A and B are shown apart, each in its own frame.
Chain A
Amino acid sequence: MGVLLDVRNLTVRFGVRRKGAAFGPKAFLTAVDNISFSVERGKTLAIVGESGSGKTTAALALAQLTLGHVSGEMTLDGNSLVGLDAQGLRAMRQRVQVIFQDPYSSLNPRKRAKDIVSEPLESLKKISKQETETIVDELFAAVGLRPEQKALFPHQFSGGQRQRIGIARALATRPDVIICDEPVSALDVAVQAQILNLLRRLQSDFGLTYVFISHDLGVVQHMCDSVAVMYMGKVVEHAERTALFSKPRHPYTKALLASVPSVERTVLQEDRQSLIHGDPPDPLNMPKGCRFRSRCPYAQDICAQSDPELSVLDQAQKVACHFPL
């Protein structure tokens, strides 16, 4: 099992107009700031963080789906994903597919289910109609939809079924990597379990590698093999699943874990004091030093001066903090 996807120093910036200024230099909002991570073949990397932390932007940059200015290195199986021409992009998109968050807006309402699923095949691969049909039949069976539902329109499906169509579409070109952007957060709790089980089954059947974006730590704990925790565009902790959940080393990770309401009340009381207060800083006007320091209970003088680098603590745990727990 080698590394399949490797990202080094990825930065994504968006040009924004300064408040009230019609002229003058453009300001830049750095949504993703110099992050690195890697995913092994057949494994799941989860990217977690609050809204605005840059997790979706980072993942969409992988699929070349952001409008911002992207810099850094990204390789899939040793081949670079940056600066591809139209043909290169087409080849890349066969190998990297996305499942979107909202199954209501990510399916074309005027297309039938089978046409939605076969669309990537038609635009990315040159194969006959008959072959396409067989593949669509297989995909419908794989995601648990009935063959007679092929001719229906999206509005005739429930939320969970729509997400199954979205998954079938992502599987159509037999990709290596699937980016799952909050695939269950728009679904009802009971339906979430159906989709999560399906995703895990497909992973072992098709040997898929997932980049799984979520803000729900319970779901992440269930799905991932390793986790990258993002805060304000930075990866603050990157570790294996067991290490991160049993012994978080970054204060933000610890606070995030403590914030999750639990059915086991005992766990909760002792963690109550590590709740964090306040709101994250303004992304256009990032403070100097560590970005978490305004909310961090352990912050000291040095945190205001230098931004901690992501450094290796134990074999498989990297933390960006001056005073790791």
Chain B
Amino acid sequence: MTPLLQVENLRIELKTRAGVAPVIDDLSFTLQQDESISFVGESGCGKSMTALAIMGLLPDRIGRIAAGKIIFDGEDLTKASEARLREIRGNDISMIFQEPMTSLNPVFTVGEQIAEVLRHHQKLSKTAAHATAIELLDAVRIPNPKARIDEYPFQMSGGQRQRVMIAIALACRPKILIADEPTTALDVTVQAQIFDLLRDLRRQTGTSIIMITHDMGAVAEMAERIIVMYAGRKAEEGPVQQIVKSARHPYTRGLISCVPHIVADVTAKRQELTEIPGIVPGLAEFGKSQCLFAARCSHKTEKCLIKRPDEMEFENNHKSACWIAKEL
């Protein structure tokens, strides 16, 4: 089966004062029809940049795709014109952002904002778009959609605003939905509701989801495959359960064990959390021919400082870019 989305050797460069830095360095991955994958990593590792590149929304004149292909449905998006990208965005690939407070326009009602997508992409009439918008609000489980459709974003709670964002993103039944930290600004009970909603909508519409997050728990709930990013490079990729059980990259292991996960049987004893010392390197370090995680890694050897590790493959398409992946 040909994949829905295929990213090959993608390299994105950002212009900084100190020179050009590769924020995404040789990234390849595929997304199948009806599959859900998740990007995980700390801030500054290039997760959002990947999403923006797929959407064709890299910051103008600062970021550019230097090499590689993004093939969606047989079409290379890196070569597509701005007009073609406008057609694809919101129609075939759409995105929900982290901040539901700031990503809606405060001076339009939510109904107008949902209808805008439908009128632009599907050329619906004003009344038809309005009617569909009400159906969409109902689908994202906002109570009393007929009345709420004329409300402004400030009249809704954070969770409801994120539901409106989801309604806008799903209005044209896109093939791919990119969710960039969709719940970090929300409370846990609301987060659970939003995850529940996304799962149900996915089952109904068959949309593939790319979720960006830093929460391993959220990944385990939402995705089948996971890609761990570190400093613009793919550290590890594979099925979620397999990686949670036996990660083959020290960074992934650190990410899983540094968070105090809630456990069912609580005992009086508590262990110290595993620390990943230090922080993500600055942009100036990106692109060096060495393992960029070496400075924070407890398993580092001399080889790590000389050459960037090659990707090694294990069963079930599990890949790890670490020199000692086999031993881990």
Contact = CB atoms under 8 A, between A and B. Distances in A.
Interface of A: 50-51, 158, 160, 188-194, 196-197, 200, 215-219, 221-223, 241-242, 245-246, 255-265, 267-268, 275-279
Nearest to A277: B193
Contacts of B275: 190, 193-194, 197
A259 B262 CA distance: 11
A246 B254 CA distance: 26
Contact of A275 (B143, B196, B217, B255): B196
Given A222-B260, A256-B189, A193 B266 contact: no
B60 interface: no
Interface residues of B, number: 47
Given A188-B214, A222-B270, A261 B42 contact: no
Nearest to B217: A261
5 contacts: A193-B273, A217-B262, A218-B259, A262-B261, A263-B244
B272 interface: yes
Contacts of A158: 279
Nearest to B244: A263
Contact of B220 (A197, A217, A262): A262
B320 interface: no
A215 B264 contact: no
Given A222-B270, A245-B262, A275-B192, A263 B279 contact: no
Nearest to A276: B189
Contact of B266 (A200, A245, A261): A245
Interface in B140-181: 143, 157, 159-160
B191 interface: yes
Given A190-B276, A222-B260, 11 more contacts: A50-B187, A51-B187, A189-B215, A193-B276, A222-B273, A256-B189, A260-B188, A261-B218, A262-B262, A263-B216, A263-B220
B36 to A, nearest CB: 14
Nearest to A246: B266
Nearest to B185: A51
B258 A189 contact: yes
Interface in B247-299: 254-256, 258-268, 270, 272-277, 279-280
Nearest to A258: B192
Interface string B209-239: 0000011111011000000000000000000
Contacts of B273: 193, 196-197, 222
Contacts of B258: 189-190, 192-193
Contact of B159 (A160, A217, A262, A279): A279
Nearest to B280: A188
Most B Cβ at <10 Å: residue of A188, A223, A268: A188
B241 interface: yes
B43 interface: yes
Most B Cβ at <10 Å: residue of A223, A256, A260: A260
A50 B264 contact: no
B187 A191 contact: no
B276 A218 contact: no
B212 to A, nearest CB: 14
Contacts of A275: 189, 192-193, 196
B144 to A, nearest CB: 12
Nearest to B192: A259
A193 B189 contact: no
A257 B268 contact: no
A289 to B, nearest CB: 20
A114 to B, nearest CB: 22
Contacts of A222: 260, 270, 273
A193 B262 contact: no
Given A188-B42, A245-B262, A260-B217, A194 B188 contact: no
